[in-house]
A and B are shown apart, each in its own frame.
Chain A
Amino acid sequence: EAQVTQNPRYLITVTGKKLTVTCSQNMNHEYMSWYRQDPGLGLRQIYYSMNVEVTDKGDVPEGYKVSRKEKRNFPLILESPSPNQTSLYFCASSFGPFTGELFFGEGSRLTVL
C-alpha cells in the first residue's frame, strides 16, 4: 500500500530534550516536505527536499533540522524543543512539487512542556 509513515504519532516532551520525528515513504517520490499545522494558520512549510542530499528552508525553519540521506526517509529533528513548537506536524511527499499533489502522513502531535 502506497503510504507516508510518520513516527511517533503522539509525543509529550520537555523543553530542551532533543527529539526526532521520522518520516518514510514507499512511493519512490523525489520530493518530501514537513509542515506544521496550527489553529487559524493552516499548514506552514518547515523544510522541503527536492531529492537526496538536497534540502531547503520553508517558511518556518527556525528550531528545526532535517536530513535526506536516502530517498525514502526525511526525518525532522528538534535539537532543543521549546513550547512554541507544540504543534501538529505532517510529512508529505510527491514525485515533484510541480503537480502539487502531495501525499501526507497521518500527522504527529507534539507537545513541549
Chain B
Amino acid sequence: DQQVKQNSPSLSVQEGRISILNCDYTNSMFDYFLWYKKYPAEGPTFLISISSIKDKNEDGRFTVFLNKSAKHLSLHIVPSQPGDSAVYFCAASDEDYQLIWGAGTKLIIKP
C-alpha cells in the first residue's frame, strides 16, 4: 500500500504558465516533506522541503504548500521554464526518519 501517492504520471504545461504538481499521503505521522527533481540519466536532486509545522515554503520560482487536514501537498512552479521539464518526486519522512517516495510525475513544458 503506497503511503505517498502522485496520481498524475505526467503533466504538460505551457512555458510561462504555472505548473502544479500534487502529492497525497496517508500517514499522519509524516513530519517532513520534500520534492526532488530528476533529469534522464541523472540521479534525483533536492528541490524544496517543508516541515509539518508550516503550510507554505517558498524558494524563488518554487513554492510548496502543505494541507495537513487533507494530507495533501503541492509544488507550484511559476513561471514554468523549459529547463523545468523533468520527473518530480514527492517524498515524506516517517517516524524512523526514512523517506517514503511517490512514483513521480513527469512534467513537460511546452514552448
User: In the bound complex, what is the Cα–Cα distance between A106 and B44 (angstroms)?
Assistant: 8
Residue B41 interfacial (CB < 8 Å): yes
Residue A4 is within 8 A (CB to CB) of chain B in the complex = yes
B101 lies within 8 A of A107 (CB): no
A106 x B103 contact (CB < 8 A): no
**Which of B32, B42, B101 contacts A44, CB < 8 Å?**
B101
What are the residues of chain A within 8 A of B6 when measuring CB–CB? 42
Question: Shortest Cβ distance from B10 into chain A, in angstroms?
Answer: 12
The reply to whether B32 and A41 form a contact with Cβ atoms under 8 Å apart is: no
Closest chain B residue, CB of each to CB of A96: B97
Is the CB–CB distance between A42 and B43 below 8 Å?
Answer: no
C-alpha spacing A35/B99, complex, angstroms: 11
Distance of B50 from chain A, by nearest CB (Å) = 10
Interface residues of A in 16-61 (CB under 8 A from B): 35, 40-45, 48, 58
CB pair A100 B101 closer than 8 Å: no
Q: Scoring B residues 29 to 56 as 1 if CB is less than 8 Å from chain A, else 0, what string do you get?
A: 0001010100001111110010000000
B42 in contact with A42 (CB, 8 Å): no
Q: Which residue of B lies closest to A45 (CB)?
A: B98
Q: Is A78 in the interface zone, CB < 8 Å from B?
A: no
B42, B43, B89, B97: the one contacting A98 at CB < 8 Å is B97
Query: Which A residues are CB-close (under 8 A) to B101?
Result: 35, 42-44
Closest 5 CB pairs of A and B: A104-B43, A42-B101, A43-B101, A42-B103, A97-B97
Binding site for A on B (CB under 8 A): 2, 4, 6, 9, 32, 34, 36, 41-46, 49, 89, 91, 93, 97-99, 101-104
Binding site for B on A (CB under 8 A): 4, 35, 40-45, 48, 58, 90, 92, 96-98, 100-107
